[in-house]
Chain A
Amino acid sequence: MTLHRTINLDLDSPLLRVEALTKLYGARIGCADVSFDLYPGEVLGIVGESGSGKSTLLSCLAGHLACDEGRVLYRNRDVVTLSEPERRLLSRTEWAFVHQNPRDGLRMGVSAGGNVGERLMAVGARNYAAIRASATDWLGRVEIAAERIDDRPRQFSGGMQQRLQIARNLVTSPRLVFMDEPTGGLDVSVQARLLDLLRSLVRDMGLSVIIVTHDLAVARLLADRLMVMKDGRVIEQGLTDQVLDDPQHAYTQLLVSSVLQV
């Protein structure tokens, strides 16, 4: 298998450009003055503790929350000012969102196959056999046995549900994937499997990923780059291993030194 990259994508210009993004909750800062570029195939980790603004930032980027200031350019189009139909179209074609809790990202009353097939049907697939073949293929890619295709997610374990959510999101070959603590709440052994899966999917599909996590080990294994957030602001960013091994900011040093070594 050769490296598969999404077509027509200029690898040297940013897929996503974020400029001075700010979101306020009344007088309180959700996130403030966040700027960065994300290139095709790049994985950006956003770390920080609860309340640091990382989830607010992700919601603003994904269009789930309206930001107060700043611009978010996706392939040179400002998604902040995008009309709702356009944004919703984007989020079921070129974008994907993996929730921490698979229940938020899956239809629990619909079979695994239906869950994976939904995005295909949403973009006009009308051939049952083709949709089913595609769903079977994707279940295989996330290591769910083909004979589980007609089972509902509530019969699945937490790890399987999360893998199903990933399949459901990636079936239409998106370019940009938002992930909110995708390995949170899973057993460590299940986490490892998921991390491995995510890494190979990112590589094989050339995905750009923005992943929010408070788990620095997850960040180290998945992210090319890190942004460290505190009180709604980005206090440090850089190459993942550099930020973790040679943190410059007092808070990052505290964060890194607080992790238990095993």
Chain B
Amino acid sequence: MSEAAYNFAYLDEATKRMIRRALLKGLAIPGYQVPFASREMPMPYGWGTGGVQVTAACLTPEDCLKVIDQGADDTTNAVSIRKFFERTAGVATSEHTAAASVIQTRHRIPEQALTERQILVYQVPIPEPLRFLEPRESETRKMHALEEYGLMHVKLYEDIARHGAIATSYAYPVRVEGRYVMDPSPIPKFDNPKLGGMAAIQLFGAGREQRIYAVPPYTRVVSLDFEDHPFEASKAAHDCDLCGAAHSYLDEVITDDKGGRMFVCSDTDFCAMRRAEGHVGRLSPKGAAA
């Protein structure tokens, strides 16, 4: 199936080596943004060009790839990237979290705990967490180098001052292994606790911004907060209407124009797996339960 005209996984070997070097450096300095020579990819920026390059550099012919977009395997972005690697690398793909060895994700961490034999690749739009308040790259680099992270709390302060609580609900900044402050990509803050102590390798690629960073397995990752406004991994106060899961991240779906709505797991594989196991939710078809 692989298109013979392309090198394995689209990128040439020299580029993959360059990216792997950046990945190794990133793993050696958890949370540190390593610059890399991001290539033009056959897709627009914002479609995951950073994640795709990282994935390409990690894939071996034996790998099994899963791609999710906001938790779903079946959205355009996820389908396109999966197809891309099917054609250029000929690797196996799967929608099952447990079956995959490499998972490329846009804005979610799978609900099912990952293992040591897995790699999670994040697509990152803006890697610099300090960018919000400090537009100068020269200055933000210095701030990282000198651990001058007061500004990060200014952002959280502004949140509380304006909304009464820390309103940042995604891309919530974290401190990695007590050193670098990192943008975890726009994952919901519900996923933040999964970043720390994870068994899998976590790699972050920002194509347009040309940065790669990483969190090695079992790393301490702490979400920033105030003593009197502690971090909370919030989600909608509902159970999944399809599988009844109480502790998974939910998407709100508007079902009609009369205010009808439903809450379903954003992780489609997780939800399907639970339903297969016989779990039911509020809107499950009658008699669906085994």
Binary per-residue interface labels of chain A (39-56) against chain B in the complex, 1 for a CB within 8 Å, 0 otherwise = 000000000000000000
Write the nearest CB–CB distance from A117 to chain B, whole angstroms.
6
- Cβ of A150: which chain B residues have Cβ within 8 Å of it? 161-162
Closest 4 CB pairs of A and B: A122-B150, A121-B150, A121-B153, A128-B226
Binary per-residue interface labels of chain A (87-118) against chain B in the complex, 1 for a CB within 8 Å, 0 otherwise = 01000100000000000000101110110011
Q: Are B158 and A110 in contact (CB under 8 A)?
A: yes
Other 9 A-B pairs with CB < 8 A, given A121-B154, A150-B161: A84-B142, A109-B133, A111-B158, A126-B225, A126-B227, A128-B157, A128-B229, A132-B161, A149-B161
Q: Are B158 and A114 in contact (CB under 8 A)?
A: yes
Q: How far, in angstroms, from A76 to B133 measured CA to CA in the complex? A: 35
Counting CB contacts under 8 A, is B148 at the interface?
Answer: yes
Which A residues have a C-beta under 8 Å from some C-beta of B? 84-85, 88, 92, 107, 109-111, 113-114, 117-119, 121-123, 126-129, 131-132, 149-150
Binary per-residue interface labels of chain B (51-90) against chain A in the complex, 1 for a CB within 8 Å, 0 otherwise = 0000000000000000000000000000000000000000
Binary per-residue interface labels of chain B (221-246) against chain A in the complex, 1 for a CB within 8 Å, 0 otherwise = 00001111100000000000000000
Tally of contact residues, B, Cβ under 8 A? 19
Q: Are A126 and B153 in contact (CB under 8 A)?
A: yes
> Given A88, A109, A113, A119, which contacts B157 in the complex, CB threshold below 8 Å?
A113
Q: Are B228 and A119 in contact (CB under 8 A)?
A: no
Which B residues have a C-beta under 8 Å from some C-beta of A? 133, 142, 145-146, 148, 150-151, 153-154, 157-158, 160-162, 225-229
Q: How far, in angstroms, from A122 to B155 measured CA to CA in the complex? A: 12
Smallest CB-CB separation from B227: which chain A residue?
A127
Q: Are A88 and B150 in contact (CB under 8 A)?
A: no
Write the nearest CB–CB distance from A36 to chain B, whole angstroms.
30
Q: Are A118 and B226 in contact (CB under 8 A)?
A: no
Also in contact, A114 and B161, with CB within 8 A (given A88-B148, A121-B150, A122-B150): yes
